[in-house]
Chains A and B, each alone.
Chain A
Amino acid sequence: MSAAATTENKPAAPAIEKIKVKVDGREIEVPRLIADWSGKLTPTTMIQACELAKTEVPHYCWHPKLPVVGNCRMCLVEFGTPALGPDRKPVLNPDGTPKIAKSPRPAISCATPVSPGMEIYTKTPAVKQMREGVLESLLINHPLDCPICDQAGECKLQEYSVDYGQSASRFVEAKVHKPKAVDLGPRIMLDAERCILCTRCIRFTRDIAGDDALGIINRGSYNTIATFPGAPFDNNYTLNTVDVCPVGALTSKDFRFQMRAWFLKETKSVCTSCATGCNILIGSREEKIYRYTPRDNDAVNASWMCDAGRLNYKWIGRADRLQDVWVRGQKSSWPAAIRELADKLKQAPAGSVAIIASARQTNEELWLLAKLKARLGALSDAIPREGESDKLLVSADRNPNTNGARLTGICFTEMGINLVKIADGIASGKIKTLIVFGENIVKRAVAHDKLRERETISEVVDEHGITAELLGKLDALIVSDILPNETTRLAHFVLPGAAPAEKRGTFTSGKGRVQKFMKAVEAPGVARAEWEFLQELVHHVTGQNNGLTVESLFNQMAREVAAFNGLTWQALGDTGVTVQI
């Protein structure tokens, strides 16, 4: 990915000269240069001018985030430029306006730069005829299997056929048959008959993902997208080719035949699988999630997301989700549990409570936990989650909200260094109550003596000494989580929480982008968004009222936490705001 496409706070670019052009008779000003897919400034093309004029020009191969190739011809338009006399001076009409010399030939708008005074005509009978011609030729060998095609409903071939297609084909010869259901790689299926050979997929994987794995083999009507035999199409970004494919040629094995695109409710959200915080749309229907797709945000993920993040949603619908409140092994209710917890925490001597939160909780939730921490004089920390980063999007920090945990004071810059102190506190009997949010702490626990051994060889910090045995010494283990695990099984209080897709909130990405996400589906059973019951608990324990909605919580937090200063829920918009971290 180009650095320019994703880096926020770039130095102010030098002012770009504007030029005037006319689109279908309407004059607009467009910049002379626009950043291309790689972030390089290149001359503005006619299609970009039309976009700026809010005039749609049908296109297949052109994609604003990919190199221009101009192979589909769908974007043909007519145009004219100011006529010049023999003296190289503009020829004027009797009324003094410049005379326009209409080009005798059309041009592809995706690859033709605009010039001052240019007039672009997108609605002439000739343009309509050209679009019809291109479409007819694209459909010659097309199988027209929309009824069983996953792209139906979001297919450019379908859409433009409605506008420029014919109801009956003039083609009487036999259609060329090409391979169907080709296993291109572990996540991608190709239907070569549906492919219109726009090469978007090739360009994406070559120029954006940096894996030159796809090509066009054979020739003429037998042209087919393919990998080298025996070399499956398998990088961490392959599913983006399904998004850029304008037709139903490339489909996601995960989403294939699962749900009609038009039934899906789309909810703006953020990926939670790493600190990058790619913007996504959650496609759901009747409380079930069917897919994640990337949502454009040039400051974060451009138009892409990684395959791992995209497919990390199945756990949300797991049948064994925590969906009841449990108190000491008995099913309980929210009011009873919150009341008991509030009483308990209010009476807890300073320093006898510790909090281990998750950097997968939202800013608001971490901030509410920080309120408890302040009132109880508690030690607190979160659990780091490390992986490997790559050159495009994936961050080595696999927590979506590490910066949220830092900024709200739940952990230090180096997350996890307090865990040793918490372990020691429990061991010495000083810490009697442990509040755990969204982390199966036992999983990464290593017996005390072994841990010391590892520390000397500077092993990872995400291992700690808080073992099941140690948890047994606590008076109260209060755990909120989404799925059952060893820690929830040991807990005295189990508070069922909500997956990010089931609530609203904000995360602060690795680069300090504060981004909000919306609720796509309901949490199961009585499970609730953590911020909801946390604000109740905080209210009972501290007497403070921080607001009853996510909006008011966020706004209050932004007033109190220096780094968020001045922000409001509303100001975050759909794509977030970058703060100083």
Chain B
Amino acid sequence: MSFQATPQLEAEVNELISHYPVKRAASLMVLHAIQEQFGWISQEAVQWTAKKLDLQPINVFEILTFYPMLRQEPQGKYQIKVCRTLSCALGGAYELHHHFCAKLGLDAHKHGPQTTSDGKFTVEFVECLASCGTAPVMMVGEKFYEGVSHAKADEIMGGCK
């Protein structure tokens, strides 16, 4: 799984670095750029980033492990985010999350994102998605779903080819 930066990533990162007074300040943006392109950030990518920014790998690894949205493992083709914060929790988010996990053979009690063994789905229980009035809500990739019943959930899953 060695990491190979594409010329366009190189160019993008060089551009990003030029926006900041010190290279280190670009760390987060560089990680975003990598994740955008590869879907996740490998240890090799961390080393590459550190080199680019004249840092030690641990400096970049600290950031990577701080933000849950930065992924340390390859993600499923479809990324399901179920909101777990108060309104959704009251609206049945736990049951919904449980439903997905049961259907996909995942452990609902495990912390953090989980990916099915076929690499098709990643399910994550996340904090407020800012649509509290239409709880429970969820996202698949960039797409937003409101008032998700279990039947609707099955329909959404079915739509993922």
Query: Hey, which bits of chain A sit against chain B, CB under 8 A?
Result: 212-219, 226-231
8 A Cβ contacts from B55-73 to A: 55-59, 61-62, 65-66
By beta carbon, the residue of chain A nearest B55 is A212
Could you list some 19 contacts between A and B, CB below 8 A?
Answer: A212-B58, A212-B59, A213-B56, A214-B58, A215-B59, A215-B61, A215-B62, A217-B65, A218-B65, A226-B58, A226-B61, A228-B43, A228-B56, A228-B57, A228-B58, A228-B61, A229-B61, A230-B43, A231-B57
Q: With A and B bound together, what is the CA distance between A219 and B63 in angstroms? A: 10
Known: A228-B46, A229-B43. A216 touches B56 (CB 8 A): no
B62 close to A217 (CB less than 8 A) = yes
With A218-B66, A219-B65 known as contacts, the answer to whether A227 contacts B58 (CB < 8 A) is yes
Chain B residues whose C-beta falls within 8 Å of the C-beta of A215 in the assembled complex: 58-59, 61-62
Q: Which residues of A contact B59 (CB under 8 A)?
A: 212, 215
How far, in whole Å, are A212 and B58 apart by their CA atoms in the complex? 8
Docked-complex contact B62 and A216, CB < 8 angstroms: yes
Further 12 A-B residue pairs, CB within 8 A, beyond A212-B55, A229-B43, A231-B57:
A212-B58, A212-B59, A215-B58, A215-B61, A217-B61, A217-B65, A217-B66, A226-B58, A228-B57, A228-B58, A229-B61, A231-B58
Contacts of B46 in A (CB 8 A): 228
Query: Whole-angstrom distance from the CB of B9 to the nearest CB of chain A?
Result: 21
Chain A residues contacting B61 (CB-CB under 8 Å) are 215, 217, 226, 228-229
In the assembled complex, the CB of B126 is this many whole angstroms from the nearest CB of chain A, namely 15
Nearest B residue to A218 via CB reads B65
Name the B residues within 8 Å of A226 (CB-CB). 58, 61
In the assembled complex, the Cα of A518 lies from the Cα of B65 at a distance in Å of 49
How many A-B contacts are there with CB distance less than 8 Å?
34
CB neighbours (8 Å) of B66 from chain A are 217-219
Q: How many residues of B contact A (CB 8 A)?
A: 11
CB neighbours of B62 from chain A (8 A): 215-217
Whether B65 pairs with A212 at a CB distance below 8 angstroms is no
Smallest CB separation, B31 vs chain A (Å): 14
Chain A residues contacting B65 (CB-CB under 8 Å) are 217-219
Q: Which secondary structure characterizes the binding site on chain B?
A: helix
- 3 smallest beta-carbon distances between A and B, as pairs: A228-B57, A215-B58, A217-B65
Residue picked from B46, B58, B59, B62, most chain A C-beta under 10 Å: B58
CA distance A229 to B62 in the complex (A): 11
Complex CA distance for A435 and B56, rounded to whole angstroms: 53
Q: Chain A contact residues: over half helix, strand or loop, or mixed?
A: loop
Q: How far is the CA of A214 from the CA of B56 in the complex (A)?
A: 9
- Please, how many angstroms separate the alpha-carbon atoms of A213 and B56 in the complex? 7
A230 contact set on B, CB distance < 8 A: 43
The CA of A219 and the CA of B61, in the complex, are separated in Å by 12
- Closest B residue to A216 by beta carbon equals B62
Q: Write the nearest CB–CB distance from A228 to chain B, whole angstroms.
A: 4
Which B residue's beta carbon lies closest to that of A202?
Answer: B58
A548 to B55, CA, bound (A): 59
Cα–Cα distance between A230 and B66 once the two chains are bound (Å) = 19
List chain B residues, Cβ under 8 A from A229: 43, 61
Give complex CA distance A212, B24 in Å.
14
A195 to chain B minimum Cβ distance, whole angstroms, is 15
Residue in chain B with minimal CB distance to A220: B66
Query: B residues 21-78 with Cβ under 8 Å of A?
Result: 43, 46, 55-59, 61-62, 65-66
Closest Cβ–Cβ distance, residue B74 to chain A (whole Å): 17
Of residues 118 through 153 on chain B, the ones whose CB sits less than 8 Å from some CB of chain A are none
Instruction: Compute how far the CA of A230 lies from the CA of B47 in the bound complex, rounded to whole angstroms.
Output: 12
CB B2 to nearest CB in A, in angstroms, measures 14
> Once bound together, how far apart are the Cα atoms of A224 and B57, in whole Å?
16
Roughly how many angstroms separate A214 CA and B62 CA in the complex, as a whole number? 10
Give the contacting residue for B56; candidates A212, A217, A218, A219; CB below 8 A. Answer: A212
Q: Report the Cα distance A217→B62, complex, angstroms.
A: 5
In whole angstroms, how far apart are the Cα atoms of A508 and B87 in the complex?
74
The CA-CA distance from A212 to B43 in the complex, in Å, is: 17
A224's closest neighbor in chain B, by CB?
Answer: B65
Q: Please name all residues of chain B whose beta carbon is closer than 8 Å to the beta carbon of A217 when the two chains form the complex.
A: 61-62, 65-66
Separation in Å of the A207 CB from the closest CB of chain B?
A: 13
Which residue on chain A has the smallest CB distance to residue B111? A222
C-alpha gap A502/B32 in the complex (Å) = 61
CB neighbours of B56 from chain A (8 A): 212-213, 228
CA distance A229 to B61 in the complex (A): 9
A540 to B66: give the CA distance in the assembly, Å.
74
> Would B43 and A213 count as touching, CB distance under 8 A?
no
Cα–Cα, bound, A147→B58 (Å): 33
Question: Which residues in A have their C-beta under 8 angstroms from that of B57?
Answer: 228, 231
In the complex, what's the smallest C-beta–C-beta distance from A241 to chain B, in angstroms?
14
Give bound CA distance, A229 to B57, whole Å.
9
Identity of the chain B residue whose Cβ is nearest the Cβ of A219 in the assembled complex: B66
Most-contacted residue by chain B among A217, A226, A228 (CB, 10 A) = A228
Bound-complex Cα distance A213 to B57 (A): 8
A218 to B59, CA, bound (A): 12
Which residues of the partner chain B approach A213 to less than 8 Å between Cβ atoms? Answer: 56, 58
CB distance from B57 to the nearest CB of A (A): 4
Alpha-carbon distance between A226 and B43 when the two chains are bound, in angstroms: 14
How distant is A204 from chain B, measured CB to nearest CB, in Å?
14
Complex Cα distance A200/B65, Å?
Answer: 21
**Complex: A215 Cα to B57 Cα, angstroms:** 10
Closest to A206 in B: B56
Closest to B50 in A: A228
| Inter-chain contacts of A227 with B (CB < 8 A) | 58
State the Cβ distance, A69 to closest chain B Cβ, in Å: 15
Chain A contacts for B58, CB-based, 8 A:
212-215, 226-228, 231
CA distance A228 to B72 in the complex (A): 13
State the CA gap A219–B57 with chains docked (Å). Answer: 18
Distance (Å) between the CB of B109 and the closest chain A CB? 14
Please measure, in the bound complex, the distance between the C-alpha atom of A215 and the C-alpha atom of B61, giving whole angstroms: 8
Smallest Cβ distance from A209 to chain B, in angstroms?
A: 13
CA distance in complex: A215, B66 (Å): 12
Q: Whole-angstrom distance between the alpha carbons of A214 and B65 in the complex? A: 14
Contacts of A219 in B (CB 8 A): 65-66
**In whole angstroms, what is the CA distance A226 to B58 when docked?**
8
Q: Please give, as numbers and ranges, the residues of chain B lying within 8 Å of A228 by CB-CB distance.
A: 43, 46, 56-58, 61
